[in-house]
Amino acid sequence: MKYVLMFIETEEFAERLEAMGELEQQAAYAAVGQWFAEHADKITHHVRLAPVHTATTMRLDQEEAVVTDGPFVEGKEVVSGFAELEVADLDEALKIARSWPACPIVEIRPAS
């Protein structure tokens, strides 16, 4: 089955990461790299998204499409990246998500 793990940053997580010294940041990024390496046989695609302030939103619920700079809503939690997995079932996706070493929230969704 295919699942997408969406990695969700909180303001607190982003502030902690920014406050880290260079060596601590390098260790945090190395842990993420290690996680991807450990699960490379299950990950079919992954992307780190650009910061939320670079977003463009298009609203299609009106007669004319409305395009605005920035996210649809300001939030304390933002999707910062995702990984697509090919696994046996939800339990396996949950096991992999549980070992994520970075953002404090991971949303798991089936994909087709």
Question: What is the structure's pLDDT at 17?
Answer: 93
What's the whole-number mean pLDDT along residues 9-25? 94
Q: For position 51, what pLDDT does the model report? A: 85
- In this prediction, residue 69 carries a pLDDT of 83
Of the options 3.40.1350.10, 3.30.365.10, 3.30.360.10, 3.30.70.1060, the CATH number for the domain spanning 2-111: 3.30.70.1060
What are the sequence ranges of the domains in the chain?
2-111
Q: What is the pLDDT of residue 71?
A: 65
The pLDDT of residue 64 is 93
What share of the chain in percent tops pLDDT 70? 96
pLDDT of residue 52: 81
- The pLDDT value recorded for residue 75 is 67
φ/ψ region of 84 (left if φ > 0, alpha if ψ in -120 to 50, else beta) reads: beta
Q: What is the pLDDT of residues 37-82, one digit of tens each?
A: 999 999 999 999 998 888 888 889 989 998 888 765 666 888 999 9
Average pLDDT over residues 3-12: 94
Tell me which amino acid residue 69 is. D
pLDDT of 53: 82
